[in-house]
Amino acid sequence: MGAAALANAEAPAPVTPQAAKTNADVVTVARDLSNPWAVAFLPGGRFLVTERSGRLRVVEPNGRLNAPVSGVPAVVFGGQGGLLDVVTDAQFERNRRIFFCYSEAAADGETGNSTALASAVLAPGEAALSDVRVIFSQRPKVQSGLHFGCRIAQARDGSIFLALGERSSRKEDAQKLDGYLGKVVRLQPDGAPASGNPTVAGALLGIWSWGHRNPQGAAIAPDGRLWIHEHGPQGGDEINVPQAGRNYGWPVVTYGENYGGGKIGEGLTEKEGMEPPLHYWVPSIAPSGMAFLTSDRYGADWTGSLFIGSLKFSRLHRLEVTDSRVVRDEYLLAGLGERIRDVRQGPDGWLYLLTDGPQGRLLRLTR
């Protein structure tokens, strides 16, 4: 059964996460990263890492941290905001272009902030950015330090998906199409709306899907579809496969509840015209980072699995997905003791993790 067949049907009861029976461990690649948020991969085994305070760092294969890359725009650092996701363009070795998103302050004389998406060229020598362009700026600006979303995934056709949070205090705006709060947008690499986007009456250009809360992971699946996960409130973290022109329900329907108890929206988990999640967690795991394993580095039984970090429980989840349903959820690294912020598969086929903290680490998963 494909994701489209699940439309307007209640999501199946999720499998309960279980401790993995297979051992896994990590090797430290780099230390002393300040609240790292995302990792991308450069030629020659180097890494590009964002630090939430606004620093972009190149990490050498031996773990050495180079001086911060210059040219990063000013970011709003505080709460959940800062310099957040980063990806390299699919044609990076030809054009050296990267895409990154961050918390952007309003213009002088105005208040609030929002998520912005920029492109830039990582100049030879990797010490500076050039040709920095803000190609998308979420509106409206909101006075908040919460729910920026800010996960990027580049589709096979080169278009850019950007998953955006609803800023918490404006959760009802996730259902409104005259703004970009709680939306997934799809753009051309220059920031123009991508061709083939849905045409929805009253919707701003670029909107792909809506009704999202706070996306914290995005990945292109092996079949080319976009997958995201998003934080629920108290319970109700979700995995969704956003389809063009579809409504994913927040805050009208949810498997979560208000902090401290009490219904949200209509107090329902399903409603006609709103898409159910592919998977959900109750209680929440606070997912962050997301990667499909396509290599055979860890054995055939792991190939095709979906890996997701847990901020709440400081562990790594491995999900097996069959016919658009999660049939197994097992967690690894339960003794790590560090919040996992990002999960990516490197060009070498290994999985890499970032841990969130003032002395965060870049890790390689071993088995």
Catalytic residue among 147, 212, 231, 279: 147
Please name every residue paired with 128 in a beta bridge, in sequence order, or none if there are none. 70
- In 3D space, the residue among 178, 150, 145, 176 whose CA is nearest the CA of residue 164 turns out to be 150
The answer for 6, left when phi > 0, alpha when psi is -120 to 50, beta otherwise, is alpha
- 213, 247 in Cβ contact below 8 A? no
CA distances from 269 to 257, 277, 278 (A): 11, 10, 13
Q: Are strands 160-164 and 183-187 parallel, antiparallel or unpaired?
A: antiparallel
231 is catalytic: no
Q: How far apart are CA 312 and CA 338, in angstroms?
A: 10
Please name every residue paired with 26 in a beta bridge, in sequence order, or none if there are none. 365
Polymer length in residues for the chain = 367
Structure tokens at 25: 């461990």
Active-site residue list: 147
